[in-house]
Amino acid sequence: MIRWIKRVAGAMALLVLAALAFSTWQYGTYAPRDTPMPRDEAALAWYIDDYAGARRDFLARGRLLAELFEGVQHFEIPVASRSGVDGLAVDGLYIPPPSGQRHRLLIVSSGVHGVEGPAGSAVQRLFMHEFLRPENLAGPLAETGILLLHAVNPYGFATWRRFTENNVDLNRNASTDEALYRTVNAGYPLVDPLINPAGPADAGSLGNRLFHLRAAAMIARHGMPALRQAVLQGQYQVPQGIYFGGRALEPQLQALAPRLRPILDAYPLSMVIDLHTGYGARGTLHLFIDPPADPRVRQGLETAFAGQAIDWASGSGFYTVTGDFVGWLGKLRRGGLHLPAVFEYGTMDSQKTLGAIRSLHVTLLENQGVQHGYASPADQARIERDYREMFYPSAPDWRVKVIHDSRAMLGTVVADWQRVGGGGEGR
Ligand SMILES: [Zn+2]
């Protein structure tokens, strides 16, 4: 009898070890698959990796539009850098409606999260080239003003960081109310030891190789929704931590506000499409929208994106954030209606538990490296590579799909946008 029990216990211990080894292997080699796409060199050509190159192309296309249409204005918000990164600016390009009928304003913004800038900029420049054409501006966009905001976080774009030089996440920082910066994220201290480790980042350490188990233990204790919310909502307590929303509005948003207000107020209706990558199912363009309190906003968005699946950010896989950029733009308006929309191109299958854990791990390792240095040059190379891959996958299939899906989605918006609201004369 005792021998039998020992045998079962031994077999069970082996099984547990095998399961541990398998999950560790599975975690270590985690790589969500791409949907196979046809070769499309023209689609790939939209992507320009470096900030300066993407900016040059954006400005050149802006000059072309200024030749095509009346009254096109370019403005730039220079962004100073302590560490000497030169030539950083947020660029704005405003194209008033050729008809003079200022009924609607469509804003397309990129690079609020710097490292997501190369993909966002590509989609933005595609929009300029393929949709801001005379036939559209004389047709479905005749009563629409267009405002393009390029590289809202140029420092992060140029240095491959999501956050600004002040370690601030602009999508947790944008607020017209100072009270935001006194927000206490009650769940954050709970996750802080897991997500903001001290000391140089060492990707191969035992703790990092078993990160999935440490995260799983925490999920088992507190539940996935509570943890997702605590980590992602934004925090205002730990300046060196991830998802830090700052102590005040970041300088470029302060400088942008007075530029944007008169443009927004000239139209009774505005909509922003803010371009992001990282969250959600790999290769999927998620229309990611916080459930609005105002039913007119919900109706407006459903009209603008007729026939498209909207991920109202109220499902179990989603979370709400404080200080988001698209909401802030609406708050800058005096009256009128503002429709906030985010295009989020998934990369990590983060709607699944393993993908969410992996995304968090990649994010925290990069921040640890920036804050405390790296254990070795090899660790730095690996951590930086994983980080870029998470926000700007090198896989041609992913990049081609982003271009194809964006073209289709933007086509829907351009066609259906004019049906939103009653319009009315702008001020
Ligand atoms: Zn983002």
The DSSP-derived string for 289-317 is EPPPSSHHHHHHHHHHTTTSPEEETTSTT
Dist. CA 68 → ligand 1 center (Å): 32
pLDDT, block means (10 residues), the chain with 427 residues: 82 87 87 95 98 98 97 98 96 96 97 98 98 96 97 98 98 96 93 94 95 93 88 93 97 98 98 96 92 89 90 66 94 95 96 92 98 98 98 98 97 91 47
Dist. CA 390 → ligand 1 center (Å): 11
C-alpha dihedral sign at 212, 214, 217, 223: negative
CA atoms within 13 A on the CB side of 381: 3
Other beta carbons within 10 Å of 184: 10
Whether the Cβ atoms of residue 58 and residue 121 lie closer than 8 Å to each other: yes
Other beta carbons within 10 Å of 11: 10
Q: Name 213's Cβ contacts closer than 8 Å, sequence gap at least 6.
A: 20, 23, 24
CA atoms within 13 A on the CB side of 226: 12
Dist. CA 311 → ligand 1 center (Å): 15
Dist. CA 49 → ligand 1 center (Å): 17
DSSP structural state of residue 163: S
Amino acid (one-letter) located at 423? G
Dist. CA 335 → ligand 1 center (Å): 28
For the structural domain made of 55-158+166-182+243-347+404-420, what CATH number should be given? 3.40.630.10
CA distance 127 to 196: 38
DSSP structural state of residue 418: G
- pLDDT tens, position by position, 87-116: 999 999 999 999 999 999 999 999 999 999
Other beta carbons within 10 Å of 48: 18
CA distance 259 to 73: 11
Per DSSP, the chain holds a count of helices (H) and strands (E) of 17, 8
Amino acid (one-letter) located at 347? T
- pLDDT, position 426: 40
Dist. CA 3 → ligand 1 center (Å): 58
Dist. CA 98 → ligand 1 center (Å): 32
The strand pair at 73-78 and 104-109 is best described as unpaired
- Domain edges within the chain: 55-158+166-182+243-347+404-420, 186-232+351-392
**Hey, is 269 helix, strand or coil?**
strand
Dist. CA 198 → ligand 1 center (Å): 25
Dist. CA 116 → ligand 1 center (Å): 6
Whether the Cβ atoms of residue 157 and residue 196 lie closer than 8 Å to each other: no
Dist. CA 345 → ligand 1 center (Å): 9
Dist. CA 143 → ligand 1 center (Å): 30
Dist. CA 268 → ligand 1 center (Å): 28
